[in-house]
Amino acid sequence: MGFRKVLYSRRLWVAVLGFLFCVVIIVRSGSLTERYDFLSVQRGHVLMVDNTHLQLDPTIENLYLGRQILEIEITTGEFAGQRYRIDNTLSRFFNHKAQEGMEMLFHINVQGGAVFQVHVFGHSRSAFMFTFAGLFALVLVAVGRKKGLYSVISLLFTLSVIVFFMIPLILEGHNPVILAVVTAILTAVFSILLVGDVTVKSVAAIGGTVAGVAIAGAIGVMAGRIAHISGLHLEHVQELAYQQGRDGLIRLPLLLFAGIIIASLGAVMDVGMSIASSVFEMKRVNPSLSVKQLYKSGMNIGRDIIGTMSNTLILAFAGTSITVMVIIATYQLPYIRLINLDLLAVEVIQGLSASVGLVLTVPITAFLAAFFAAKHN
């Protein structure tokens, strides 16, 4: 009976379909293959370090500048076991200080089948990253139990869709805003059905979430056009512009608005599920409540949520832009220049568009949840 119960679990089939979808998009994306066969990044061990030519930066604390002499041994790839003596130049913008016994990444330039040059690429962080992510998953499961496990699976699905579905298609020249909406829908459907089960309550939460992120994206696009924002002031856009110049595919101006949709998805989904769960729980406790009464109660709960969640996205965008804000402050610009800065306009449009979408998720979800709860209970 236990096996048959698991077999007929709707969550199981949601997870299976999500897994198969992830396999398809990962295989289709080809993101795991090397793009340039003459440039290779491999792991290696630092056997010896000579710091004779290093000195402390006079203005930045604990930062060393200058040159290290390293003796290294490559441990992966076709040149594994080979030892090299290389220079490691440390500057303010490229500063990967090596220590004896440390595992690092090395950039190997191959010409004619032989190693032409070896440079330090950076610190090897993969082991730490996977360990840290594993600890996060363990904490999530330990506290959330079964729901925590569903959350981990949902997070893996979300990351897979963004990395192996949305980004590869953006690189192929497809519309980033449409791809972000599709990504939001896929993520919302999978995550809510997995965590909340395949129920009418989940349908209400999905409807509110999709509407909320769509509104956030639409408002962002309209605000960007009115404010004459091209989207070319995003971080690292120069690198993308170089890619645009080579392949002519990436639609740079739309990336800003796609980012608004993806950035707002998590908070909007959280609000949508909270409102739907509250409304259905009230209906379960008091079956006599009407659609109007359920909607009113859902709105009352939603207003309390808005009181704190309205700051969430604003602070999230501000946190990621703290460096930009500090730079602006150092110039002590007059008001007329400050308020009209492109960078400031981008941050304001991102934060406010996402927040408006989040706020409007409340009445939409409250109505859908009230209607479905009244009709199906």
CA angle 345, 347, 352 (to 5 degrees): 95
Q: What tokens were used for 25?
A: 């998009």
What per-residue confidence (pLDDT) applies to 299? 93
SS3 265: helix
**How crowded is residue 327: how many other Cβ atoms within 10 Å of its Cβ?**
11
What per-residue confidence (pLDDT) applies to 247? 55
Q: What tokens were used for 368?
A: 């859908």
Q: Minimal CA–CA distance to 257: which of 362, 346, 164?
A: 346
Task: Please state, in angstroms and rounded to a whole number, the distance separating the CA atoms of residues 88 and 96.
Answer: 8
Task: Please state, in angstroms and rounded to a whole number, the distance separating the CA atoms of residues 367 and 375.
Answer: 12
Task: Please state, in angstroms and rounded to a whole number, the distance separating the CA atoms of residues 293 and 286.
Answer: 11
Q: What tokens were used for 87?
A: 């220079």
- Strands ordered across the beta sheet of 114-123: 83-90, 64-74, 39-56, 103-111, 114-123
Enumerate the H helices of the chain as residue ranges: 2-7, 10-29, 126-161, 167-171, 176-196, 200-226, 237-247, 255-285, 291-320, 322-331, 335-338, 342-376
Environment class of 135 (CB within 10 Å of its CB; exposed 0-12, middle 13-18, buried 19+)? exposed
Class of domain 39-124: mainly beta
Task: Please state, in angstroms and rounded to a whole number, the distance separating the CA atoms of residues 207 and 241.
Answer: 36
What per-residue confidence (pLDDT) applies to 239? 63
Q: What single letter denotes the amino acid at residue 262?
A: I
Task: Walk along the chain (377 residues) and give the pLDDT tens digit of each residue.
Answer: 444 444 447 788 888 898 899 899 888 876 555 454 556 889 999 999 999 999 998 888 888 899 999 999 999 888 889 999 999 999 888 889 999 999 999 988 888 777 888 999 999 888 899 999 999 999 999 998 888 888 899 999 999 999 999 988 888 888 898 999 999 999 999 999 988 788 899 999 999 999 999 999 899 889 888 888 776 666 666 666 665 545 556 777 788 888 888 888 888 998 999 999 999 999 989 988 899 999 999 999 988 888 777 777 777 777 777 777 777 777 787 888 877 877 778 878 888 888 899 899 999 999 999 999 988 76
Buried/exposed 48-64: b ≥16 CB within 10 Å, e otherwise: ebeeeeeeeeeeeeeee
What per-residue confidence (pLDDT) applies to 207? 94
Please answer whether residues 256 and 231 qualify as being in contact, where contact means their C-beta atoms are separated by less than 8 angstroms: yes
Task: Please state, in angstroms and rounded to a whole number, the distance separating the CA atoms of residues 43 and 77.
Answer: 8
DSSP 216-235: HHHHHHHHHHHTT--STTST
In eight-state DSSP terms, residue 252 is: G
Task: Please state, in angstroms and rounded to a whole number, the distance separating the CA atoms of residues 244 and 149.
Answer: 40
Q: What tokens were used for 204?
A: 């209400």
Please answer whether residues 90 and 97 qualify as being in contact, where contact means their C-beta atoms are separated by less than 8 angstroms: yes
- Per-domain residue ranges for the chain? 39-124, 170-376
Task: Please state, in angstroms and rounded to a whole number, the distance separating the CA atoms of residues 122 and 152.
Answer: 29
Task: Please state, in angstroms and rounded to a whole number, the distance separating the CA atoms of residues 309 and 321.
Answer: 19
Phi first, then psi, for residue 343 (nearest 5°) are -65, -40
